[in-house]
Amino acid sequence: MRRFSAIPLLLGNEISKRNSRRKLIRNRSADDEIDCGDVVVTPKPSWRNFTHAELSAATDDFSPERLIGKGGHAEVYKGTLPDGQIVAVKRITKKEKKDENNRVGDFLTELGIIAHINHPNAAKLIGFSSDGGLHLVLQFSTHGSLASVLHGANGSVLDWKIRFRVAIGVAEGLGYLHCECQRRIIHRDITASNILLTEDYEPQISDFGLAKWLPEKWVHHVVHPIEGTFGYMAPEYFMHGVVDEKTDVFAFGVLLLELITGRRALDSSRQSLVMWAKPLLEMNNVKDIADPRLGDAYDMGEMKRAMLTALSCLHHLPNMRPNMIRVVQLLRGEGGQVELKQKTMGGRTIILDACDLEDYTNTTYLNDLNRHMQLVLE
């Protein structure tokens, strides 16, 4: 799995230029306002403004032994504060960006977005630092990321009960970001690695480095360059750079598939989980899609609801995907079922939604996905 930046395949997209007047945090008082370009953020009173010396001491000078996560844009270290509190220190790297103003602007935007978030299924910010680099200090999650627990090499198997609770928690967190937060927030990088698990396995959405604010009057936003984690990106995003809530819905569908199957979004042979699982979802084939490590230790009703929800979220047409509020209802079995059609093929009953009969078929979508994967991974 890797992050990447790719040139959109559709030319002519206008590139939104960042405000060149974005400023670095200059005052160490947590009561001062921070200029984030299009919004002014007032740090919460509980936030601490750390010095580089404090963070260096907490992480043993950012020792490799303290490294607990690494992506294309940041490194995360386990730290211990003088009072014994365990924290996660996120050090922004983004070394490929030569424009320091843009790098700082991205950091301040992420900080501004986190300032608007208050939900049990979103990571908690403890403090920040601009001394000797850009850092965010977050609440430490005992079990690490969902990816490390679900795909870890220690041989343990995550119980279905926990998996299903994680699915609902992430869905509720995304519903909050999309519909209930003070401003519409599109995460843009929902992956198993960016879902952290607390001591009681409560999921928390983390890493808002690629997140976007969308004004209420905007139906969607076109971004460049396209950034994210391959295997989770919706077709309209990786083909055209179109971002809205349905971008996250698709990524959640992939995450749901990981919980159902125990497989990675992209395996070692570069096989897409969506491409492998979609036919099984359409045939409602529980036996072949469920993680074999679970055996029969799962609730059949929950498994079928999870599969049906995943199929709905992974629709190739964004307007046919449910919003996250509806996703929560589907997982809980509330508010009625998704309207689906069935057809028989080769003696087997296949579940289809109405738009699968349109010109842009699932086969076309999977071919597009495969071509794009070959393009960016060559």
**With 0-12 CB in 10 A as exposed, 13-18 as middle and 19+ as buried, what is 34?**
buried
Q: What is the distance between the alpha carbons of residues 254 and 274, in angstroms, rounded to a whole number?
A: 7
Cα angle vertex 376, ends 352, 105, to 5°? 100
Catalytic residue among 35, 106, 189, 248: 189
Residues 6+ apart with CB under 8 A from 356: 362
Question: Which residues, other chains included, contact 328 with Cβ-Cβ below 8 Å and sequence gap of 6+?
Answer: 168, 171, 172, 175
- Could you tell me if residue 62 is left (phi over 0), alpha (psi between -120 and 50 degrees) or otherwise beta? left
d(CA 159, CA 56): 37
Known catalytic residue: 189? yes
Rounded-to-10 torsion of CA 70, 258, 169, 332: 170
Which residues pair with residue 348 across a beta bridge? Answer: 345
Q: Is residue 341 annotated as involved in ligand binding? A: no
363 CB contacts (<8 Å, ≥6 apart)? none
Residues annotated as binding site for ATP?
A: 90
Q: Hey, which residues are catalytic here?
A: 189
Residues annotated as binding site?
A: 90
